[in-house]
Amino acid sequence: MLRFEIALLAGLALPLAGQPAPLDPARTALVLCDVWDDHWCRGAAQRVGVLAPKIDAFAAAARQRGVLVIHAPSDTMDFYKDAPQRRAMLAIPQVAPPAPVEITSPPLPIDDSDGGCDTPGDKSHRAWSRQHPAVRIAEGDLISDQGAEVYSALQARGVKLLLVAGVHTNMCILNRTFAIKQMTKWGVRCVLVRDLTDAMYDPQDRPFVSHDRGTELVIEHIAKYWCPVERSADLLRVLSK
């Protein structure tokens, strides 16, 4: 069941008689983190290929309910420089974020120090040029890879709750300026969509578990130290239509 504290912390609703609290779509946004068209790690690219249509379906359902969808494929803004969704983001008046709250960042439960790739022989390089084509960028969406721009858009729309989906759970989902750590430090309440993410983790590294279990350990870490984590179906059920 969806955690009541999501709505309580976001100031969106109160739980009633033990039922899941509704979320106000007008005060909710979804940021899609680094759902690129390709990746230097073949295993990561294959998993994103499976994940992308699911992310698109969730984004479409959230959008239909009135949620603002922000596409954040880092390092690809040149590709989108003429897109109306990118121009719309740049047209939003900038709001200076507050001084970040100091929050201790405990070490991750997995070792990703070698890049986390689980397909042997792959070497790090910039393989991406745009967002994965399976994820539709619709009219009314926004495009950015800058935390200050995303923060300004949230303030302009009165958004109180930021849903975060995409990759990679132990890297960009936590560390991009538009994602969980920085937004949390700026006072934005975040929720990780736990079934629409994937970690960069090689089972040959500590703690020597399967890739899926490594991803789950990172999700559990985020739930413990950073923000709630919820399944996409549960979130859609409590987003008012």
Task: Over range 117-145, report the average pLDDT.
Answer: 98
Give residue 160's identity as a one-letter amino acid code. K
Task: Over range 114-132, report the average pLDDT.
Answer: 97
pLDDT of residue 16: 38
- For the stretch 41-50, pLDDT in tens is 999 999 999 9
Q: Which two tokens stand for residue 85?
A: 């969704």
pLDDT of residue 7: 45
pLDDT of residue 124: 96
Cis peptide before 39 (omega within 30 of 0): no
Q: Give Cα 114 to chain centroid, integer Å.
A: 23
Task: Over range 91-113, report the average pLDDT.
Answer: 97
Report the alpha-carbon angle 179-89-177, nearest 5: 20
- Residues of the chain with pLDDT > 90, as a percent, come to 90
pLDDT of residue 37 exceeding 80, the answer is: yes
pLDDT of residue 12: 47
Spell out the domain ranges in the chain. 4-9+24-94+125-238
**DSSP string of 55-111, one letter each residue:** HHHHHHHHHHHT-EEEEE-TT-TTTTTT-HHHHHHHTSPP-PPPPPPP---PPPSS-
pLDDT of residue 103 exceeding 60, the answer is: yes
Banded pLDDT at 3 (limits 50, 70, 90): very low
pLDDT of residue 4 exceeding 50, the answer is: no
Starting from the edge strand earliest in sequence, which strands make up the sheet with 68-72, in order?
A: 142-143, 68-72, 28-33, 161-167, 189-198, 229-230
Task: Over range 135-154, report the average pLDDT.
Answer: 98
pLDDT of residue 22: 84
pLDDT of residue 20: 60
CB contact set of 211 (below 8 Å; sequence gap of 6+): 43, 118, 199, 201, 202, 203
Q: Which of 1-15, 161-175, 196-210 has the lowest mean pLDDT?
A: 1-15
Q: CATH code for 4-9+24-94+125-238?
A: 3.40.50.850
pTM over 0.75: yes
